[in-house]
């Protein structure tokens, strides 16, 4: 019975997500056309995307999600945002922070019908894994977004965790913060590894998903460090938050 429930609830979740996405997509396109010339950061587009995530999660009765520490985010600041990555549910959860940022995401996701097209309309940042030229292009694009006043969100583990445990961080994100003299905003996510397992279709009932916004790290606190030192420091901060 439990397995049947999981199948039915999974069909419901993915079905309602695609239905909501399809209904909202024409409005995304219209909003883009109306604002792209006057809203260079596409602030309203991102806010509308946050609304999309809120609706998708609100219709899903299986997860109870709480974002803690949103008051720590300065809306006038352009952060290098980093979070651990447990499952595909992380993306929905991080949108609930409500702050303005540009995702760094796999290039292949941008070709995904409707959802990927919406990512492209938001001018999120594509990255082709394992390709040096794509990494350089991503870093340049991210630097331009930061300079324009948009925060940039990166999963420094590079890919989702297989078991929910925190993986080693890659240093590219922290090099970006140092090069552009930007503060770092760490976020620790708990519970999403049980909500959707990596590579799986089935979702699980989970009432304890939390996103913890940690204290921002001013650039002045890391200006004398190299990227590897900053990487270890932020990894330890998120590891400690997950253990508490």
Q: Where are the domains of the chain?
A: 2-243
Region of residue 63 (left: phi > 0; alpha: psi -120 to 50; beta: else): beta
pLDDT for 208 = 84
Q: What is the maximal distance between C-alpha atoms in the chain? A: 58
DSSP string, 33-56: HHHTTT-TT-HHHHHHHHHHHHHH
In angstroms, the CA 116 to CA 132 distance is 23
Provide the 3-class DSSP secondary structure of residue 103.
strand
pLDDT for 1 = 47
Paired with 212 in beta bridges are: 68, 188
Residues 6 or more apart from 80 whose CB is under 8 A from it? 146, 151, 152, 154, 173, 174, 176, 177, 180, 182, 183, 184, 185
> Pick from 197, 134, 116: which is nearest to 163 by CA?
197
Tell how far CA 157 is from the center of its chain. Answer: 12
Q: Is 142 exposed, middle or buried (0-12, 13-18, 19+ CB in 10 A)?
A: buried
In angstroms, the CA 228 to CA 174 distance is 8
pLDDT for 187 = 97
Q: What is the mean pLDDT of each run of 10 residues along the chain (244 residues)?
A: 75 92 97 96 97 93 90 95 91 94 92 94 89 86 95 89 82 93 96 75 76 96 93 96 90
pLDDT for 235 = 96
Tens digit of each residue's pLDDT (9 = 90 or more) over 207-230? 689 999 999 999 999 998 999 999
Architecture label for domain 2-243: 3-Layer(aba) Sandwich (3.40)
Query: In which residue are the tokens 């979702």 written?
Result: 203
In angstroms, the CA 188 to CA 212 distance is 5
């Amino acid at each position: 019975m439990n397995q049947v429930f999981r199948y039915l609830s999974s069909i419901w979740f993915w079905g309602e997500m695609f239905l909501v996405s399809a209904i909202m997509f024409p409005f995304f396109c219209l909003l883009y056309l109306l604002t792209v010339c006057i809203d260079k950061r596409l602030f309203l587009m991102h806010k509308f995307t946050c609304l999309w995530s809120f609706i998708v999660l609100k219709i899903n009765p299986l997860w109870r999600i709480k974002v803690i520490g949103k008051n720590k985010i300065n809306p006038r600041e352009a952060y290098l945002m980093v979070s651990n990555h447990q499952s595909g549910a992380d993306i929905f959860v991080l949108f609930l922070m409500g702050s303005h940022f540009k995702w760094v995401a796999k290039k292949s996701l941008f070709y995904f019908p409707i959802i990927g097209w919406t990512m492209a309309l938001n001018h999120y940042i594509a990255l082709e894994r394992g390709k040096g030229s794509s990494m350089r292009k991503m870093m340049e694009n991210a630097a331009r977004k930061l300079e324009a006043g948009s925060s940039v969100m990166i999963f420094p583990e590079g890919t989702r965790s297989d078991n929910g445990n925190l993986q080693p961080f890659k240093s590219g994100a922290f090099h970006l913060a140092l090069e552009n003299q930007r503060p770092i905003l760490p976020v620790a996510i708990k519970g999403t590894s049980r909500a959707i397992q990596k590579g799986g279709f089935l979702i699980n009932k989970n009432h304890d998903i939390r996103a913890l916004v940690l204290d921002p790290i001013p650039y002045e606190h890391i200006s004398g460090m190299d990227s590897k030192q900053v990487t270890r420091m932020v990894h330890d901060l998120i590891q400690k938050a997950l253990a508490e």
